[in-house]
Amino acid sequence: QVLLVESGGDSVQAGGSLRLACAASGFTFGNYRMGWFRQAPGKEREGVAYVWWDGAPIYADSVKGRFTISKDNGKNTLYLQMNSLKPDDTAIYYCAASSQRWCSGSCLRRSEYNYWGQGTQVTVSS
């Protein structure tokens, strides 16, 4: 079955960096659209970035220029490099996968993904 396992979450100071990883199994990784979402306490889960099956990345405005999404098809792993972290980036970060090539709307919407990991906590202190 599809399994997504995130890692790399930690507590850092503002301005610091973290690299999240999502190990995928149970499906043909290179054929899926992959995304990163986050959910802060008391807030809705929001899309951070996603990458098309061909590797082209798309970012939410809030992280553009600071975060980089990438994937390694040989390792079945999705990454999120996060630089210049801010306290507002504090959240649980989730990896998501979709078997659908296209989205009915924005691909940063939660409803556009079939599978989810369990999440990894990122805490940024000022």
pLDDT tens-place string over residues 56-90:
899 999 999 999 999 999 999 999 999 999 999 99
Give whole-number Cα distances, 113 to 4, 79, 98, 123, 124, in Å. Answer: 12, 17, 5, 25, 27
Residue 15 has pLDDT above 80, yes or no: yes
**Tokens found for residue 1:** 């079955």
b/e 25-57 (16+ beta carbons within 10 angstroms → b): eebebeebbbbbbbeeeeeebebbbbbebeeee
23 vs 53, which has greater pLDDT?
A: 23
Residue 49 has pLDDT above 90, yes or no: yes
pLDDT in tens, 88-122: 999 999 999 999 888 888 999 999 999 999 999 99
Nearest to 6 by CA among 65, 77, 101, 100: 77
Q: What is the pLDDT of residue 55?
A: 76
Count other C-beta atoms under 10 Å from residue 121's C-beta: 12
Q: What is the pLDDT of residue 47?
A: 97
